[in-house]
Amino acid sequence: MVGFLRILAGLALVAIIIVGGLWAVRLAGFGYLLSVSNERVEPVRAEIPFAPLVDMGLSDADNPTKVFRVDMARVEQEFPLSRGDLAGLVPANILAMNQEEVDQLYGRLTAGPIPDGPYLGDLFFPVGDTMESRLDEILGGLKGRIAAEKIETVEGAGRALWKGKMFYRDDRVLRNFIEDFRSLSGLIDDPEALERATVPREGILSWVLPTTDVYLLFPAKLYCGQSLLDGRRESVIIDYAYNDDLPGYQERPDGLAGRNGLRVRDEIRMIRPGFYLGRAYLNKVFLLNFTLWNAEVAEAGLTDSAEGAPVAEDCWAGEQVRHAALQ
């Protein structure tokens, strides 16, 4: 019973509208850090099936403007993704999808194994059915365009600061890594105490310098849990709410992501080994998508997949059979 507040939005609506803009500006730069990544990659359209963006068979007499999406179980049943479909996907493909397509892809994935080691990340905000920024679609006109540009700015800032996630699978812990924390130094209690790690480098520079040192911030707990988009099977949850339990936690800045801060919660599902699709929420409000990529695992995974190796699952995979993906 009881979902989160029948009315929180009803009550908080006013508050959000009044103070939301200001706080968003104050906090966006920090909050978005937690989920994002590198330089922008050019989107490439993938040839995988999707259900129609809108279920035209449904309508609501109370709200004729309401958009109905095709039920996720039906998407999976009627537009299954084969293992080959998933093996062909790369992060650039996700960038070419509107939000409904991203959602339909996510719904046709399983959690896969809880990742281990470093994963490079990329982030992107929701794009509407017209492939415009969702804010642009909602607000329209000049205001919409301005909002969309702000989002792009935030996206770029996030990409510049956040580089990926380091998974400590055995400890069920995760930390986010950034290459340079100087822009955040005012937010950090003790910069000297920050943990560091060496991770693979991406891009042309990696030919010369295959690794780079990064700083680890914003610890989170890792567990199998509920997806806030698709309840039919579990996702891997990256939960910052109780990160003050974790070793190395610093109130500033790690508390910003915690239960008394922005209440960040990510969830990820595996597209294929080494490649995960994620969703980031602030206080359970969907904010943006992200991808995680580990080239080494991805390459090994393709080999295993070609040899017909079964996909490992750490989490509850539900009961709807993914016939195509098992082949």
Partner 1 sequence: MGRVRLLAVVLCLLIALFPRIGSAQSVLSPEFAETNSIYTPTEAAGREIWMFATAFNDRFFTYTYPQRLGAAIDWYEVLAAGRRGDLFEAWGAIPDPDCCLPGDPDCPARSADQTYGFMWCPGDDDLLSFVGREGYVDPACGFEDAPFDAGTPHGAVDQRQNACDLRFGTSTGALGLRKFPNPRFDPVNWEEIGGWEGYAAFMAGDPADPDSRANRLMDGSVEPPFRIGMACGACHIAYNPLNPPEDPSAPEWENIDALVGNQYSRISNLLGNGMSQHRLEWQLIARARPGVVDTSALPMDFVSNPGTMNAIINFARRPLFEHQVLKWRKVAACEAGADPDVCWCEPEREGKCWEKSLQSEMVPQILKGGEDSIGFEEAIQRVYFNIGSCAEQCWINHVVDLRAADPAQRNYGQTPFDIGQCRRDCGSFRAIEDRLIDIKNFFLTARPSDLWQARGLESPRDLEIALDGEFFDGAVEEGRVVFAENCARCHSSQENPGVDTDFLAVEADDPTLRSDWLGSDEVVLASEIGTYGARAMHSNHAPSRVWAEYASLDEKARPADPVRQEVMKGGGRGYMRNISLLSAWAHAPFMHNNAIGPEICGKPGDPEVDFYSSPYVDGNGQVLAEAPGCWAYDPSVAGRYALYLESMNQLLNPDQRVAKMFVLDRDIVIDLAPNVELLGRDLGLSLTIPAGFPAVDVNSLRYKDMIQDLVLIGVDPAKFEAKYAELLTDAQRNELRDGLAEIRSVLLETKTIAAIQLALGHDEAVVDQVEGLTLRVGNDFVQRFYSNILDRVENAGHRFGEGLSERQKQALTAFVATL
We find the least distance from the C-beta atom of residue 256 to partner 1, in angstroms, to be 5
Instruction: Report yes or no: 187 and 252 within 8 Å, Cβ to Cβ.
Output: yes
190 binds partner 1 (CB under 8 A): no
101 binds partner 1 (CB under 8 A): no
Task: Determine how β-strand 264-272 pairs with β-strand 275-282.
Answer: antiparallel
Contacts with 48 (C-beta within 8 Å, 6 or more apart), sequence order? 81, 85, 88, 89, 105
> Rule CB under 8 A: which of 238-267 touch partner 1?
239, 241-242, 251-252, 255-256, 259-262
- Count CA within 13 A, CB hemisphere, residue 120: 23
Nearer CB in complex with partner 1: 12/197? 12
* Sole binder of partner 1 in the list 228, 295, 298, 324 (CB under 8 A): 228
Q: ∠ at Cα 225 (220, 230), nearest 5°?
A: 120
Nearer CB in complex with partner 1: 137/202? 137
> Rule CB under 8 A: which of 4-33 touch partner 1?
4-19, 21-23, 26-27
Which of 244, 182, 47, 34 minimizes the C-alpha distance to 121? 34
204 binds partner 1 (CB under 8 A): no
- The letter for the amino acid at 121 is G
146 binds partner 1 (CB under 8 A): no
62 binds partner 1 (CB under 8 A): yes
205 binds partner 1 (CB under 8 A): no
Residue 318: both structure tokens together: 């539900």
Q: Is residue 276 classed as helix, strand or coil in its secondary structure?
A: strand
* Sole binder of partner 1 in the list 50, 168, 249, 286 (CB under 8 A): 286
